[in-house]
Structure 1
Amino acid sequence: MASEPFPSEFGSDSNRSDEERFPEVFRQGPMADRHKATRIVPMRVLVFGLPRTGTSSIKVALSRMDFNNIYHFRSVIHDPDDAQWWLRAGDAKWNRRGKFTKENWDQLLGHCQAVCDLPSAAFADELIASYPEAKVVILNRDVDKWYISMTQTILKVASPNAWSVLRDLLDWRELGQVWKMLGQQMYNMFGSRPGGMSESNMKASFIEYHEHIRRIVPRERLLEFKVQDGYKPLCDFLGVPVPTTVIGEKEVEEPFPRVNEGAAFHDRVKALRRCQNRRILKKIGKLVSAVVLVGVGLWYLRR
């Protein structure tokens, strides 16, 4: 099985625009009416890996293995209105407000054959119960390396300040609600204990997260996996062939993708922020223009 490269994953050519480098994060929603959606494909695999464990790499790998529509954090950026569904699921899980049923999961994820990364990683219990036929992969990493990676990436961009709060309010329909969703999940997964998101709390949460999944998933349905393991154990577990590529005239096994490293993460976040700032400036420009037009109109009428 030959695979095509994903230029948006591997390209970092500074001569290209943000939209050319990261097209998947600039097609803003709404893309689908989830209220009318239902399950149209079987859920085949649930990958429970916390951020910075290789979730972007395994997303690309699953695409190479012919899994269609893998839900990832970028899926919410692609269609920001999904954030409201995840916030509802979070309210039901952590605040006991309302219910989020199997029908709701099918409305949100009915087009997907796989999930990985946040926000789905925050709902392991619910998704395992809703899709008992799906296989489960624990995407693991050394806890110390994971924590260092988190401090250098997500914890830097997830910490709110006065400007980020204002910016997200002005851009609520797009990234504002996405960052609110991320904040809800980060707090409840890592920061709800005394001491908040301290190093010891985060590492303990990381270890307990994986131990919990091991307890609730039967061994025959579960694979422990790291991106360093390569395609073979993952493909064997999921019953699909290892992807191949052609080099010269020879078909060879494809190397496992390694994407979204630290520098690429920050490049993508900066591109998102630039796009957000442009949207906000357009809104402010329209508001200023409207105020000026009204002012000119009132001045003219009072002459």
Structure 2
Amino acid sequence: MQVLALGMGRTGTVSMQAALETLGCAPCYHGYTPLYNISHCSLWTRAFEAKYHSNGHPFTRPDWDNLLGTYGAVTDTPAICFASELITAYPEAKIVLVERDIESWYRSFEGIINSYYMRINDIMEVLDPQLTGPTARLFAYVFRDRKGFFRAGSKQELQQNAKVVYREHYAHVRAITPKERLLNFQLKEGWGPLCEFLGKDVPGVPFPRLHEGDALRERVRGFQVRGMLNVVRNLMVGILSIVVGWVAVVWAFRRGG
């Protein structure tokens, strides 16, 4: 673990992921990573239960290594929900904090709020217990848990708490991080400050400037397609089971008659 990029989601985390991987801090764990590594969801759930609900033991270095040991960096949710734990667990890692104007950030984050609270998500969670179910339970600790990261149990509470938690998060990370381990960074600064801080050579390519909303929508869309295929399969299995059961009952009735 070389870098903990602990800026809030929607502050350029996709660009930071690409930048860190270009610098050799690869692979970089992002918020979409659990969508394609479903076995991670149960580990994150254990970590959330321990920290926010005092259920189970708090994660230590071996626990984090079990989840993140093959990654060179982390960024975005859910990792940022464990800023203090990760800073302690990985004392060799540098901390990069990308912040954005809070009003601009909230306008972007509100799109996540609206998408998360769409009714179809609740339906998919029930119909697709293989993929949507585990990820929904994981991110509920972030967006739908009054003891969780945003301390919100509803859409309205999430909207009310978002800016407060944003400010608290940045203040907390800065307060607990030794100055020599911390870089307050803006994407517009490019490679220079980041490479100097990490002791890396400046790459011969432009600093990545990825549109976070578009990049995440594309990745989530692929996950949703997989979820819908699971729903179709599950419904077909259910229908087939009903048909087989009905045929068996009819056959038994006729035979008995």
Q: CA RMSD in A?
A: 2.0
Matched, 1:276 2:235: no
Matched, 1:59 2:17: yes
Query: What are the residue-to-residue correspondences of 1:3-152 with 2, within 5 Å?
Result: 43-99=1-57, 100-152=59-111
| SS at 2:5 equivalent | strand
Write out per-residue CA displacement over residues 106-162 of structure 1, whole angstroms, 9 at most, x where no aligned residue. Answer: 11111111111111010001000111111111121111110000012x11222153x
Task: Tell me the amino acid that sits aligned with residue 101 of structure 1.
Answer: T
- Does structure 1 conserve the Cα–Cα contact (< 8 Å) formed by 2:191 and 2:202? yes
- Does structure 2 conserve the Cα–Cα contact (< 8 Å) formed by 1:80 and 1:175? no
Question: Which of 258, 267, 274 lines up with 2:209 in the alignment?
Answer: 258
Question: Which of 219, 223, 245 lines up with 2:183 in the alignment?
Answer: 223
Matched, 1:243 2:203: yes
Cα displacement (A) at 1:267: 4.0
Task: Tell me the amino acid that sits aligned with residue 78 of structure 2.
Answer: P
Identity of aligned residues (%): 34
Residues in 2 aligned to 1:180 and 1:124: alpha-carbon distance in whole angstroms: 20
Question: Which of 195, 208, 212 lines up with 2:168 in the alignment?
Answer: 208
Cα displacement (A) at 1:204: 2.0
Please list every run of at least 4 consecutive aligned residues from structure 1 whose deviation after the TM superposition is greater than 4 angstroms. Answer: 192-195
- Does structure 1 conserve the Cα–Cα contact (< 8 Å) formed by 2:128 and 2:234? no
Q: Pick which of 122-131 and 163-172 moved more.
A: 163-172
- How does the TM-score come out when normalised to structure 1? 0.77
- Does structure 2 conserve the Cα–Cα contact (< 8 Å) formed by 1:81 and 1:173? no
Write out per-residue CA displacement over residues 76-119 of structure 1, whole angstroms, 9 at most, x where no aligned residue. Answer: 01111211111111111111111122211111111111111111
Q: How many residues align?
A: 249
- Does structure 1 conserve the Cα–Cα contact (< 8 Å) formed by 2:18 and 2:208? yes
The match for 1:197 is: 158
Residues in 2 aligned to 1:160 and 1:179: alpha-carbon distance in whole angstroms: 12
Cα displacement (A) at 1:170: 2.3
| SS at 2:4 equivalent | strand
Question: Which of 216, 233, 236 lines up with 1:285 in the alignment?
Answer: 236
Residues in 2 aligned to 1:263 and 1:128: alpha-carbon distance in whole angstroms: 30
Cα displacement (A) at 1:226: 1.8
Write out per-residue CA displacement over residues 16-62 of structure 1, whole angstroms, 9 at most, x where no aligned residue. Answer: xxxxxxxxxxxxxxxxxxxxxxxxxxx11111011101111111111
Q: Which is richer in helix?
A: 2
- Does structure 1 conserve the Cα–Cα contact (< 8 Å) formed by 2:14 and 2:210? yes
- How does the TM-score come out when normalised to structure 2? 0.90
The match for 1:30 is: none
Matched, 1:171 2:132: no
Residues in 1 aligned to 2:172 and 2:248: alpha-carbon distance in whole angstroms: 65
Matched, 1:297 2:254: no
| SS at 1:240 equivalent | coil
Q: Pick which of 278-287 and 166-175 moved more.
A: 166-175
Residues in 2 aligned to 1:279 and 1:132: alpha-carbon distance in whole angstroms: 41
| SS at 1:197 equivalent | helix
Q: Name structure 1 gaps, 5 residues minimum.
A: 1-42, 245-253
